[in-house]
Each structure stands twice: as C-alpha cells, then as structure tokens.
Structure 1
Amino acid sequence: MKTLIDSTNALIDGLAAIRRQYGVPEHFPPDVLAAAEAAARRVPTKHVDRTDLRFVTLDPATSTDLDQAFTIERSGADLLLHYAIADIAWFVDDGDAVDQEAWRRGTTLYLPDGKAGLYPPALAEGAASLLPAGPRPAVIFTTRIDADGNVRLDGAERAIVRNTAKLAYETVGEMDLPPDFAELARRIEAAENRRGAARVDPPEQEVAPAEGGGFQLLFRPRLLAENQNAALSLASNVAIANALLAARTGLFRVMPEPDKKAVMRLRQSARALGLDWRDEATLAEFEKTLDPADSSHAAFMLAVRRASGGASYVPYREGMVPWHAPMAATYAHATAPLRRLADRYVISAALAIANGQAVPATATAAFETLPAVMGRADARDGQIERAVVSLAEALMLRGHEGQSFEAVVTDTDDHALRIQLCDLPVIARVRGQGSKPGDRIRVRLTAADPLQHTISFELMGGAS
C-alpha cells in the first residue's frame, strides 16, 4: 500500500478490520521461520566478487527489504547501469517451507500500519536484503542505455556486492549518487516520451488533522529522486523483457489502454476537478501536463489509476507480443524479488539467457502457473488498497453527515450514478436516474463509517 500515509494513527481500528476481512497474515508459521533462519546462514559459493564496485541503494528512509542496489559507468556515448538485485533464490529451494509459503502469499502486502512480507524477516530484511551491514549475494544485470534512451541487456552474473550507502529519497543529495544518475533518468524519460508512454505515478495521500477537528486527506508529491530512481527499474525490466522475448520464453507484465468508457469517465472527473482537458488531446497527452504538486491534478492521477483495466501476467506465447500500454513497451517484473514471487523466476530465466544457458525447467514450469497465483495476489492487493482509501475518505467525511457537496456524474447504470466530488478527491456512487455523464449535481452525505470503510450519498436535485 503505497498511496496513503497514516502518521497520526487515525486509521488504526479500521485497518485492523481490513486486515481481518482480507486475511492479511499476521505472522509466519514456525516451520517457515525456522527454515528461513537456517537458510540465512548459507554461504554464497557461486558468486564472483564485485565488492570493489560502489553500489548504493535509494529507498524510503525506513525501508529494510532492499531489493536493488546500483552503480553507473560510461561506455563511450552509452551508459552502463549495473543493477544488483537481491538473490533470494540462493536462500530458497523449490518446494521447501519458505517457497511454499511464498507461493501462498504471492506478494508483500503493504498497509499504512505495516506490511505482511512475502518472505520472513530473516531473509527479506536480513541475509537477502541489500543492506549496508556487509557483503550480500546478488544478481547483477548490466543494461546498456544509448544516447536516445534505448536499452539492451548486456550481461548478468551472480555476484557478491557491498552497499556503500543506504540513501533515502527524503535526504539524498546529488553528490551522494553515482555520476550520470540524472542523465540516465533523462534518457529513459526521453525514450518514454518518444514511445508515447503514459505512466501515471500519483503522489502519496496522507491522513492529517483538519483545522477545527476531524481529518483531511492531503497529497505528498513524489520527490524528484523517486521518479529518477524508478527509471532504473524501468530500464532494467524492459531490457530483461526484450531478452526473454528474443529467447521465446518468460513471464511478462501486460496492461491494456483504458477503454473508451473509462476515458469518458476520466474526462468527467477532470471537469469535476476544474481541469482543462482539451477535446483534441488524448489521455496520454493530457497526463503529460499534470503536476502532482497540485491537489486537483493529484486527485485526477488517482482517478486514472482507479480507471485502469488492470495489469496482469502472461507467459510467452508464440506469435504474441506482450504489451504494457502505459509503458508502451514489452515489460517484465524482475527487480523486486523480495516483494513479488514472480520476479524470482524471471531473474532465473534472464540470468541463464544472458550466459547462454538453458532456462531452468523450474522457471519454465512456473511461468505457466504464476499468472493465476499473481492474479489472486494482485486482486487482493487492489481490494486492500481500495478499502484503505475508502477508509480514509470515510474518516475525512465523518462528522459531515447532512452536508451537501457538488459533484459531476462520470458514469451511469440502470440504478445509480458514479460521481466525482468537485472539491475533494472522492469517487462514489449514488442511487438515482435521469442524469448523464458530465452533468453537475448536488449530493448530501448520509453516512460515513470508517470501520466499514463506506460512505453514502443521496441525490439532492436535478442535473445542471
């Protein structure tokens, strides 16, 4: 859960209810913990020594499950990104207790009051995490980025690396980072723009006390270092996906463009928020104009994410080009193995391909079964995220029952209207008929229940 910060612990009771409702694991079984403790003592024996390279990590200050470390060097006009990825596969055997539990979980679940990890802390926050406490085993993927931002996987190896600095988004300075960090991010962004990519990275929402009592939802815009750091993962994942596709194997992350109905709803949301989306501009073009520091723009970015058809995983199929529309590229997940089960197998396959070896049979078999496992995990992630946002909205609106709000209709069905409040980042439904998308209406808040994470409105008058 990356879109809400609860620094005041205002959501604590509601979050406990959400954890119960969606079966968020509270702990690991004893046999899994014991197996993880034993695995954490394994000594790497298939890794070359790369501790002479100055790897650093860049994450939120409180992060302890560090998947990625990086360093950058020049190669003529090209940049070489050496991306060290936590080698969780070194510690986990196929079919052991830790592996079986990871297949049950699929992903790490993030909520504002804490996470439920994919792997036990002895691994995810200890022996496998790329912390600066000492050398760690990793898989280094080297991606070549040319002057135009085109990427190619140049090599991969298992290696021992040393994290020389645990950098934080909140405090990092330009001198802390490897040379050409900003240039690499610029090249990747330029290539995205040429491809017509339309990634949307909404700012985090924060629950904060409101003047006069109650609570409000505020936005914390993403920091420049966060956006630049995301370019490193994007470059590596695209390069790895292209290598897998060329080898006619792999597991890919795909996502369709929003359909016409979703785009129509988004246009009405933009109208509700007072945004100027020209009729001739596409959604991708309009997204380029958004400023996450502006609360109305930030609210629209959240609406875009909610309107998406959803991403999924697909294995390689002959004659099919897997496509991620927001990335405008073939794309794979390989850079967060401590948090996503699928990445472990993508890494295994990419490591083999880069070294001219056969893809392990375990990875090939996993590519066929992982889409269903990851689909269930993603669905639960999405349900929890929506529930948490609804909880925050209910908390913000509690005490305002009976108050009227202006809204714009974004969609309709036989019995209800989908609405976007004009002055708050709230999307809701209200029973009623006779309105059409784009109509401006007034609604009255009838209930706001944080424990049930629900809000209810009633229609007050006709459309305008």
Structure 2
Amino acid sequence: MKTLVDSNAVLAAGLPLIRTQFGVPETFPPQVLAAAEEAAKRVPSAHVDRTAMPFVTLDPASSTDLDQAFAIERSGADLLLHYAIADVAWFVDDGGVIDAEAWKRGTTLYLPAGKAGLYPPVLAEGAASLLPSGPRPAVVFTVRVAPDGTPTLDGAERAIIRSRAKLAYDSVTEANLPPDFAELANRIVAAEDARGASRVDPPQQDVIADGKGGYRLAFEPRLVSEDRNAALSLATNLAVAALLQAHHTGLFRVMAGPDDRAVQRLRNVALGLGLEWPAALTLPQFVATLSAAEPAQAAFMIAERRSGGGATYTPYRDGVVPWHAAMAATYAHATAPLRRLADRYVVRAALAIANGQPVPEVVTQAFETLPPVMARADAIGGRIDRAVIDLAETAVLQGREGEIFSAVIVDADAHGARIQLCDLAVLTSVKTEGKPGETISVRLVAADTTARTLNFERVS
C-alpha cells in the first residue's frame, strides 16, 4: 500500500510539500464526520450469525483499517475459503454526505508519514473494520479452490463475524493460522504459474542510515506470510470477476502487457542492475525467477511494475472479455472496500447475483461512472508515490555531489537519455546522446530535495 516507508523520518521536512502539492486532505468536512459518527451506531439487521466461524485477519502490524478476515476448511479435495469483506455499504447511504465525499476521494492515499482515508476513521478504523474487538458486519464470500488452484464462488452472504485474532505479517506463526492456509496459497500460485501470469508484488523501500553519516535506500523483503495472504485476496477477486462476467455485469480491472519497446527498456534496466536475463526467456518467465529478497532483483520488480501503461477500470461490455495481462485472467477488485471506492459496488453486485437477486440500479449506474473517478484517484496516488521516491532519492544522494556513477542507458530520444544507475536502485535522466544498453559514466551535479530533482552530467 506504500511504495516507501521512512522509519528514520529522513523525509519529514519534504512530505508536507507533497501533501500540499497534491491536495492530500488532512481530515474530513465536519458534516461528513458527524454523519459517520451516526452511521457507526447502526445495528446490523440483514446479517446471519457467523460468529462461531474461526475468522482471523492478517495485515501489517500497524494496520487498523481491516478489510478482510478469513477462515478455511476442507471439502473433499477442494478447499473452501470463507473470505469476509468489510460491509461498508451497510454504513454508507447512496447519495449521502459520506458517499459524496468518498466519490471525491476515490481511494485512500498513503504517504510515509500517514494517510488520507477514503472514509472517516470512526468507520474505516472502527465500526466497519474487521477488528477483533467485537462482532462486525461483513459480506462473506465462500470461494471453492480446486486442487489445480481454480477458484469459483460458491456463495455470498451478509453475516456478523467475530475475528479471533489480529495477526501481523512479521510475527504470525503457522500455529496462529488455519491448517490449510499455506496449501491454499500454494494452489493459487501454482494456477498463476500455469496460466503464465506475471503479477509481481515488489517490496517496499526504506530510508536507512548507511553507517557513514548519510542514508541509503534499502528494500524491505516481502514476507512469506504477506505473499500467502495476497493469494487469498487474488482467489476471491478472480472468483468474483468470473461470476460478474458470466452474468453480463460488473466493473473489471484491465491492463495491457508491456509492448516490445517497454520490454527492451526492461532488458536494459536488467543490464544496469547486473541481472542476467537470457534471451530465450519471456518477461513473465524472467520475473518468475526473481526474488524480492535480492536488492537488484527487487529494483527490477519495481521497474517492471512501472513499465506498462498501468491498470484501468472498465465496465462489462457485451462481446468483450476484460483482460488483465499481469494476472493472465479476467479480474476485478472486490476485497478492499475500506480503501477503494469501486470495491463497494463490486461487492454489492456479487452479493446480489450470488443470492439470485437483480443487481441494484445504483450499482449498475456506478459501473459506468466509476472508471474516470478511479483513474483520477489512481493517477494522484501514482504521482504521490513517484514524488515520495524522488524525494527519497534526492535525500540519499545529497552530499554526494561530484561523485561519478556507472549507469546504463535504458531509453533515449531527442531530449536525452533515461538511465539506470548500476549501484543504486535509481532510474533518472541525463542530457546526452547514446544507444539503449550502452554503459556510461555520469557525475552527480546536484541533488535538490526541495524540487525533488537530480542533475547528472555525462563524463564518459
């Protein structure tokens, strides 16, 4: 959810400028806060009692806006994933002030020093969050996962659940988790490999002391528990997407794969990072060999994530199969309604269809109007991520002016060259001519943390 963390508060001085530049709100309007306080008092009345089911949550230790809880059981050779999603729609009225504010925001925005939530904390971190402090309303999707990893939606219901534990990625043990947690995740990953998916979840970066009085960017390796947890969400999103597509409705996440030029740029990035990419391997095959625990490989994962045009949202259209190239599947977002506006409507549609009911008209209309709203929100989030990384790169390189770095030209045009520094996970620009794949030397002229810019000049 964050591209970069700042455990040493190195970026503290520059982050307020980013918040101001991108209009990141500090709080909510008074009328929205007041409405949220009232909504939080609502007593669920359309939900069955599932408090006896052993749900748990698994998230970063500091997280309090918990969208998902899960329980797993066997059904012959299949595994049943009971995936509880926060029932945000129970608290948010269509057309009300909370709803209107959420449409303005689109998503929760994350910065190293905090976030700007989609919904007020009394809901997102209280009444609607699947915390273990008491029973919570949820939409429970039952996803049947076959031995080959194929997920299908067996049912969906509004339910009251009670999480048994708030588990954290960095401290969870096998004993805390359902017995088949690892097996279910392995099935999903095997299915990804079988269909040629190239989904990557690059690790976060952190600004840490370098032991020489300065700082450096380091990668925080993804934990096994984090990757396995992501597989549960993926299975649910795939199952929901298949259900919606089969019933000729929905909002889907689509993404084209990188074109030939983008793949060549990535090959140059790999060269700059010292990674051997055999010519016979496709991009998905190469990505499958990488480990986020290795800094150079993690840096490539981040470059690969940014190589395409990005994912977008599209409503159902007759005769069109919505496709997400990285997932190698039809895909929808349904599992994070506390943090993404679109998920609230996808959940409502899937819940209706699974129970033989018509999709509410307000949901069908939302599928048509959500794409530009989500595109704007995603674009702002992406620009914030880029600004934070630019700030971090200038911060760690400040004081190294005059130093010479080896780099590889990733791409070039009439305006100059895009280069990958060979010893740092820094992708930047320099005014020079050259051919992609060429190794050059550049001198750092200036690192401006206020403007968040690096100025390099070519020396050879």
Common fold: TM-score over 0.5: yes
Q: Distance in 2 between matches of 1:32 and 1:394?
A: 38
Tell me the amino acid that sits aligned with residue 53 of structure 1. M
In the alignment, what sits opposite 1:15? 15
- Residue matched to 1:445: 444
For residues 255-291 of structure 1, what are the alpha-carbon distances to aligned partners after superposition, in whole Å with 9 as ceiling and x for unaligned? 1101111110100010111111001110100001111
Asked whether the equivalents of residues 13 and 451 of structure 1 are also in contact (C-alpha less than 8 Å), the reply is no
- Residues of 1 paired with 2:400 and 2:144: CA distance? 55
Per-residue deviation, 1:232: 0.2
Aligned partners of 1:370, 1:135: CA distance in 2, in Å? 31
1:62-141 matched pairs, under 5 angstroms = 62-141=62-141
1:459 partnered with 2:458:
yes
- Give, as a single letter, the amino acid of the residue that structure 2 aligns with 1:254: V
Letter in 1 for 2:88: I
Q: Are the counterparts in 2 of residues 253 and 313 from structure 1 also a CA contact under 8 Å?
A: yes
Distance 1:311 1:349 in 2: 21
- Answer yes or no: is 1:282 the counterpart of 2:282: yes
1:201-240 per-position Cα deviation (integer Å, ceiling 9, x unaligned):
1111010011111110011110000000000000000000
**1:255 and 2:230 aligned:** no
Correspondences of 1:382-461 after superposition (within 5 Å): 382-433=382-433, 435-461=434-460
Cα separation, 1, equivalents of 2:354 and 2:179 = 26
Output the amino acid matched with 1:460. Answer: V
Provide the rounded CA distance (Å) in 2 between the counterparts of 1:184 and 1:449: 48
The aligned runs of 1:87-236 (5 Å cut-off) are: 87-236=87-236
Deviations 1:124-183 (A, max 9, x none): 000000000100000000000001001100000000000110000010000100120000
Where 2:124 maps in the other structure, the secondary structure is helix
Q: Identify the residue that residue 312 of structure 1 maps to in structure 2.
A: 312
Name the residue aligned to 1:43: 43
Separation in 2, partners of 1:415, 1:3: 28
Q: Distance in 1 between matches of 2:451 and 2:140?
A: 46
Post-superposition offset of 1:454: 1.3
Q: Report runs of 4+ in structure 1 exceeding 2 Å deviation.
A: none
Which residue identity is paired with 1:57? T
Three-state SS of the structure 2 residue aligned to 1:226 is: helix
Name the CA distance, whole Å, in 2 between partners of 1:247 and 1:308: 30
Question: Residue type matched to 1:455 in 2?
Answer: L
**Could you list the per-position Cα deviations for residues 328-361 of structure 1 after superposition, in whole angstroms to 9, with x for gaps in the alignment?**
0100000000000000000000000000100000
Indicate the residue corresponding to 1:333 in structure 2.
Answer: 333
Tell me the CA shift for residue 373 of structure 1. Answer: 0.1
Give the deviation of 1:459 after TM superposition: 1.4
1:294: how far off? 0.9
Report the Cα distance in structure 2 between the residues aligned to 1:422 and 1:271, rounded to whole angstroms.
Answer: 8
Q: Deviations over 1:351-391 (max 9, x none)?
A: 00000100000100000000000000000000000110111
Report the Cα offset of residue 451 of structure 1: 2.2
Alignment gaps of 5+ in structure 1? none
Cα deviation code 1:88-109 (max 9, x no counterpart): 1000001111000000000000
Is 1:200–1:301's contact at 8 Å kept on the other side of the alignment?
A: yes
* SS of match in other structure, 2:430: strand
Name the CA distance, whole Å, in 2 between partners of 1:99 and 1:456.
44
How many Å separate the matches in 1 of 2:210 and 2:278?
Answer: 34
Any idea what SS the aligned residue of 1:13 has?
coil
d(CA) in 2 for partners of 1:343, 1:212: 46
SS at structure 2 position matched to 1:12: coil
Tell me the TM-score normalised to structure 1 length: 0.98
- Structural RMSD (CA): 0.7
**Paired residues of 1:14 and 1:452 also in contact (CA < 8 A):** no
SS in 1 for 2:123: helix
Structure 2 alignment gaps of length 5 or more: none
Distance in 1 of aligned mates of 2:125 and 2:380: 23
Q: Is the 8 A contact 1:255 1:311 kept in 2?
A: yes
> How far apart, CA to CA, are the structure 2 residues paired with 1:145 and 1:82?
11
Amino acid at match of 2:415: H
TM-fit CA distance, 1:3: 2.0
What is the aligned partner in structure 1 of residue 30 from structure 2?
A: 30
- Structure-1 separation of matches of 2:132 and 2:178: 16
Superposed displacement of residue 308, structure 1 = 2.2
Partner amino acid for 1:158? R
TM-score, with normalisation over the residues of structure 2?
0.99
Give the counterpart letter for 2:156 in structure 1.
Answer: A
**How do residues 293-304 of structure 1 correspond to structure 2 at under 5 angstroms?**
293-304=293-304
Q: Distance in 2 between matches of 1:192 and 1:305?
A: 17
Q: Residue 346 of structure 1 aligns to a residue in which SS?
A: helix
How far 1:2 sits from its partner (Å)?
A: 1.6
Return the alpha-carbon distance in structure 2 between the equivalents of residues 302 and 450 of structure 1: 22
Cross-structure match for 1:271: 271
Structure 2: distance between partners of 1:456 and 1:156: 55
What is the letter of the counterpart of residue 419 of structure 1? I
Query: Partners of 2:351 and 2:452 in 1: how far apart?
Result: 44
